[in-house]
Each structure stands twice: as structure tokens, then as C-alpha cells.
Chains A and B, each alone.
Chain A
């Protein structure tokens, strides 16, 4: 099936009245939960997984598409009005977005973020529609050795390039890999690290880990550090229509942000941080008034927001075509796929083409719905930020426990959730990134499977990873990602 006919079929499914309603529900729930302080897209999807348990996969994925984009939109609202980015991609938006809000320009900041997200999201979804099938053809050339090396590259980039410190990123990654070891070894049926506990035989669910790290970790952090600190909420004042000058200063950053975000997000290195930071730097360099940056420049909101949303769509390319999650949110989406017995990867486009094209079509739809719904409703979403902390975190913890219990109807999972929440709290306190842990947990067992498959096919010859050209190239890039920054620092230090 070619791309256009696949996409048309996807639209035909997504445009049925019931599926339109599911999409609307997805964007509304995604925005409503994503707008809550400290709740990013990964946690929003994890918390809302139980809502989709009884739906057929197509409806569930149409909801996920809506939640994915809705949560992104909600997160930027919180960054601008409260200066609390829900995920790393919104950190840059918070800098100037919140300054604009403090100066009484919250409405313009929210509008440029929303329209920029729509422009970037739509262009990037077009890119996703056409690039994914091409990537699938490349993925079909990959054997187990290449897959393993690709995963090593993803490990390295997610943990080494995206955090502030390679050591901390790698430490978090290895903790995730270690947690991923728990359970039955899929190839031999042997139980590993279960310590006689039956509930551990299936391994630790990625949803338990994500909710523990993101929801409980955040709640514990706020309780410990910020419970008595007054909140600096900015009010939404003024017209939501941007002025002529706002439009003139926004449209180029939207397009530049998209051009940066989508290709970088589509790489197996993935992530949304680098495109947003790059977009900020580029806009600052090109701006007529660079001195406004950091003080509330609209370009500094428009560009990074577009880059963020384009990268978010880009992240779906390696997820759908290779089965490779390169962000915490993509890892949760992968878990959602697996919940339905579907494995993303090159075969997905042939074995579940209806579902995958319906998902992509629902991304176009969700994006449009967000623009139509959220600009007029921004005042309503902003009211959600007024929920007092005692009620907000009380509600979040009740929902977290409910979501995790619903996975297996197991109280054991609740204790695990608490333990992982404390780990997440410690990681927040000591500034260890959590995304590498989630990616390591979900990719670790897959990497092991591919490694052992490649090893068996090569009849015990480990050199297979270095003699296959694609595999060798991927490993070389991974090594360069680790050693490169170190060498650059040494060279810089030597120059004085």
C-alpha cells in the first residue's frame, strides 16, 4: 500500500463520528492532565492507559494520538503561566514565555505557542507520513546485529547527549537496564532476579516505573522542596489574537523550528531538548532585538515551541518504523502498543497498516482540534492551574495508585510504585535524568534479545557486530558520541 492510499484509508477511519469523538476525548484529556504542573506527556499517557483498556486497538490509538499532542500543548501552557515545564522540551519555552506572561503578554505567548505547535505539528506529521514508509524500507535491511547496534546508539545518545552529565545519564540508563533484567528470560524461560516473588516473573511494567518516577517522584519533590513556596501564576490577560508585529516576528521562527525539530527528532538519537535549545540560539542570533531574549521575546517562544512539537512528531518515525523509543513518552507509547500485542517495527506497516494509518490520520485531526479548541478555551485550562497543591497532589496520587493497580490488579505493584517513586525522588534531588532509565528499562530486554539472536545466527562469532557495515557504522557513531565531547573538552582546555 502506498503512502497516499494508506493515509486516505487512515482518514476514512479517523473521520467516522465515533472516532472523531475518541480523538476529541484524547485531546481534551491530554490537555487537561498535561496542563497540571509537573505532569508531562509521558505521565499523562501512563495515567490514562487504563481508560483505554476496554477499547479496540484502533480507537485506543486514536485516543493516544490526541493525548500525545494534547499533553504537549498542556505542558507549554504550564510553562508559560507557571514557569513549570512538564517535560524537558518545554524548558526553553518557559524562559521567555513566562517573562512574557509576567509582563502581561501571556495571551500572545500562548497564542504563538498554540499556532506554532499547530504549524509544526502539521508539517511534521506530513513528514512522518512520508518518511516512515521510507524508514521501514531501511529497517527491513536491518538484521539482529544492526538492530542491536542501533539500540546501543539510542542508549548512548539518550543518556550521554541529552543530559547535563554523561556520568549521570549513563548511571540512570544502567539502573533502567538492571530493572529490565527482572523477570523470565524470554529465550530460555529462566527466571532472573525475581527472588521467589511471583508478581516479578512478568518483569516490572514500564507504566509502574513511569508513574513512580514522574508522578510520585514529582509529588515527593514538591512536598520536600516547594510545599510552602508561593506559586507565581500569571493571569491570562489581553486578546488571544496576536498583533501584526507578533505575527511578523513569529512565522519565520515557526518554520525554522519545524525545520530543525523534525529531522533531529526523527534520528535514532531523538529527543526534543537539542532542537529546542538550537532553535533558541538560532532565533537569538537572527533576531533584530537579541537583547529581548530572556526578557520575553516572542521569537524565543515561537521557535522552540515549533521545534518541540515537530520533534515530538519526529520521535514517532523511529518508534513506528524501527520499534525504537527515543524519549520517555515514546517508551510509554511502545508499552501501550505492546499492551495490545502489537510490536512496532518494519512489519507494523504491513501487519497493522489500518491501525498505524488511523493513528497518523488522528494526529492531523488532533492537531487541528487542539487549535480550534484550545485558543478559545485557554482561560479554562489556566483555571486548572489554580487548583491548590493539597488537592492537586492528593488527586494525582489517588489516580496514580488507581492506574498502577489496574494493570494487574496487584497490591504488590503499589509497593513497587512507592519504591520507584522514592528512587525518582532521589534522582530529582541529586539531578540524575529519569528519561534514560525509562528508555533503558524498555529497550534493555529488546537489545538483549537482538544480541543473542545475532550471536546465535553468527554461530558464536561476536565480530558480527563489527563486520556488518551498518552495524559497525552505528557502533562507531555511538563511540564518537561518548568520546567526542570528552576530546573536545580536552582540546578546548589545551588551547586555554
Chain B
């Protein structure tokens, strides 16, 4: 049996991943605290039972705070164990499993598409805004503009629009095409 090859390793995930447990714990703690604070700031109605609508929010907020602390504790332990092994040699086969960096530009194109779609849903109408969602999402995934994607997107959006409005009788905003398609 051949011995495995080694290379310098240590804490495998980089940057934010190292702190994720602590960060998630912090977010849960803050949300739990926020729920408790808002709940205690809400007055009770006269004649309400002593538990009323405040009990569950307090229980859930309290639970989130405990879980936040537990997540942060687990994250801190992982961080400490990672630091202990920093600089140690890890098998090359394991090094291949190190998380690849994420593809932020693609993600941003997709999120931007949805933001544009939500912004224009009422004002521009369903057809242009949904088409923009499709085009920007396709642009993100394909990493380039492609007129064929735009054409397919237009067909999908038109089928969806007429299928839902004429076929199923569901109203969708017509926006800038209100004068042609009716509705608003």
C-alpha cells in the first residue's frame, strides 16, 4: 500500500465559512432578542388571560436566543479545533474536497433579475417584467448574452400570460400594454 501524499492544510474553508457558526448564532440571538423586546413592548388587551398572545412569542424568542448561543458555541469550538490544526499536513485527497469559491457574478445576475422583475411587475406589467427576469437569469447562468435565450423567454412568458389570464382566468398586471390587453 502506498502512503498518501500530504500538503499544508489546517482550517479548510476560508474566510466567512470559518466564522459561519458564530455569525449564524449571532443572527438567531438577535432575532430572538428582537422578538422578546417587541413582545414586551406590546400592551395586552383588557380581560385577556395572563398568557394571552405574548406567551408563544416569548417562548419562541427565548428558544431562538438559546439556539443562537448553541450555534455560536458550536461554531467557536469548530474554529478553535481548526486553529489547533492550522499548518498541519492534510492528505492531498482531502485537499481536493476544500470548498470551491462561489460564483458571485452569476448569483448577482439572478438576484438582480428578480429585483427588476418585482420592481416592474405592476408598473411595466407581467410580460416585460417576467421577460426581464428570464433574460437576466439566463444571462447569469450562461455568462453571456444570447438572443436565443431572449426569444425562448418571450415565448415562455407569453404562454404563461395567456395561459393564466385567458385559460385559468387569473388576473395578471398588463402595465404598459394595458391599452392593448385590457386590465391594468
The verdict on A451 contacting B168 (CB below 8 Å), with A220-B107, A390-B146, A398-B134 known, is no
Residue of B nearest to A177 (CB): B60
B98 at the interface (CB under 8 A from A): no
* Secondary structure class of chain A's binding surface, majority of residues: helix
- The proximity string for B residues 150-175 relative to A, scoring 1 for CB distances below 8 Å and 0 otherwise, is 00110011001000100011111000
The verdict on A223 contacting B149 (CB below 8 Å), with A171-B67, A181-B56, A405-B172 known, is no
Q: A224-B106, A417-B114, A452-B51 are in contact. List 16 more A-B contacts (CB 8 A).
A: A50-B168, A178-B60, A185-B53, A190-B42, A219-B110, A227-B140, A228-B143, A390-B137, A390-B142, A394-B134, A394-B138, A394-B153, A395-B134, A397-B113, A405-B172, A430-B20
* Sample of 16 A–B contacts (CB below 8 Å): A54-B170, A174-B60, A174-B67, A188-B48, A224-B107, A225-B102, A389-B141, A390-B142, A391-B152, A394-B138, A397-B113, A397-B117, A401-B121, A411-B118, A414-B118, A421-B114
A448 at the interface (CB under 8 A from B): yes
Bound-complex Cα distance A399 to B114 (A): 12
Bound-complex Cα distance A461 to B141 (A): 58
Bound-complex Cα distance A429 to B17 (A): 9
Closest Cβ of chain A to B71, distance in Å, is 6
Bound-complex Cα distance A49 to B171 (A): 15
Verify B106–A460 contact, CB threshold 8 A. Answer: no
B26 at the interface (CB under 8 A from A): no
- Those 3 A-B pairs whose CB atoms lie nearest each other, nearest first: A390-B138, A394-B134, A390-B141
- The proximity string for B residues 102-126 relative to A, scoring 1 for CB distances below 8 Å and 0 otherwise, is 1110110111011101100110001
Verify B138–A409 contact, CB threshold 8 A. Answer: no
Bound-complex Cα distance A223 to B114 (A): 13
- The proximity string for B residues 14-54 relative to A, scoring 1 for CB distances below 8 Å and 0 otherwise, is 00000010001000100110010011001001001111110
The verdict on A181 contacting B114 (CB below 8 Å), with A54-B168, A411-B121 known, is no
Q: Please tell me the number of chain B residues within 8 Å of chain A, measured between CB atoms.
A: 68
Segment 41-83 of B: residues with Cβ below 8 Å from A? 42, 45, 48-53, 55-57, 60-61, 63-64, 67, 70-71, 74
Closest Cβ of chain A to B90, distance in Å, is 21
* Secondary structure class of chain B's binding surface, majority of residues: helix
Residue in B49, B110, B169 whose CB lies within 8 Å of A397: B110
B11 at the interface (CB under 8 A from A): no
| Interface size classification for chain A | 35 or more
Closest Cβ of chain B to A298, distance in Å, is 30
Closest Cβ of chain A to B23, distance in Å, is 9
The verdict on A54 contacting B169 (CB below 8 Å), with A193-B35, A224-B107, A402-B130 known, is yes
Verify A50–B103 contact, CB threshold 8 A. Answer: no
In this complex, which of A51, A405, A417, A455 has the most chain B Cβ atoms within 10 angstroms of its Cβ? A405
Bound-complex Cα distance A398 to B153 (A): 9
The verdict on A167 contacting B133 (CB below 8 Å), with A391-B149, A394-B138, A418-B118 known, is no
Verify B146–A399 contact, CB threshold 8 A. Answer: no
Verify A397–B71 contact, CB threshold 8 A. Answer: no
Chain B residues near A389 (CB-CB < 8 A):
141-142
Bound-complex Cα distance A405 to B20 (A): 33
Chain B residues near A216 (CB-CB < 8 A):
114
Closest Cβ of chain A to B8, distance in Å, is 25
Verify B50–A460 contact, CB threshold 8 A. Answer: yes
Chain A residues near B56 (CB-CB < 8 A):
177, 181, 444, 448, 451
Residue in B39, B45, B117, B164 whose CB lies within 8 Å of A50: B164
In this complex, which of B63, B118, B146, B169 has the most chain A Cβ atoms within 10 angstroms of its Cβ? B118
The verdict on A223 contacting B103 (CB below 8 Å), with A394-B156, A405-B121, A418-B115 known, is yes
Bound-complex Cα distance A430 to B25 (A): 12
A386 at the interface (CB under 8 A from B): no
Verify B133–A418 contact, CB threshold 8 A. Answer: no
- The proximity string for A residues 382-414 relative to B, scoring 1 for CB distances below 8 Å and 0 otherwise, is 000000111101110111011001100101001
Bound-complex Cα distance A219 to B109 (A): 12
Chain A residues near B172 (CB-CB < 8 A):
402, 405-406
Chain B residues near A181 (CB-CB < 8 A):
35, 56-57, 60
Verify A53–B168 contact, CB threshold 8 A. Answer: yes
Bound-complex Cα distance A439 to B40 (A): 26
Closest Cβ of chain B to A133, distance in Å, is 33
Closest Cβ of chain A to B166, distance in Å, is 12
Verify A406–B160 contact, CB threshold 8 A. Answer: no
Residue of B nearest to A406 (CB): B170
A192 at the interface (CB under 8 A from B): yes
Verify A456–B49 contact, CB threshold 8 A. Answer: yes
Verify A394–B133 contact, CB threshold 8 A. Answer: yes
The verdict on A171 contacting B28 (CB below 8 Å), with A225-B102, A406-B164 known, is yes
Verify A53–B103 contact, CB threshold 8 A. Answer: no
Closest Cβ of chain B to A128, distance in Å, is 30
Residue of A nearest to B131 (CB): A398
Chain B residues near A241 (CB-CB < 8 A):
none
A170 at the interface (CB under 8 A from B): yes
The verdict on A398 contacting B133 (CB below 8 Å), with A54-B168, A390-B141 known, is yes
Verify B141–A51 contact, CB threshold 8 A. Answer: no
Verify B104–A224 contact, CB threshold 8 A. Answer: yes
Chain A residues near B134 (CB-CB < 8 A):
394-395, 397-398
Chain B residues near A401 (CB-CB < 8 A):
114, 117-118, 121, 130, 133
Closest Cβ of chain B to A396, distance in Å, is 9
Bound-complex Cα distance A81 to B88 (A): 40
In this complex, which of A216, A390, A417, A452 has the most chain B Cβ atoms within 10 angstroms of its Cβ? A390
Residue in A170, A188, A192, A393 whose CB lies within 8 Å of B57: A192
Verify A418–B114 contact, CB threshold 8 A. Answer: yes
The verdict on A192 contacting B168 (CB below 8 Å), with A175-B64, A391-B152 known, is no
Chain B residues near A406 (CB-CB < 8 A):
164, 170, 172
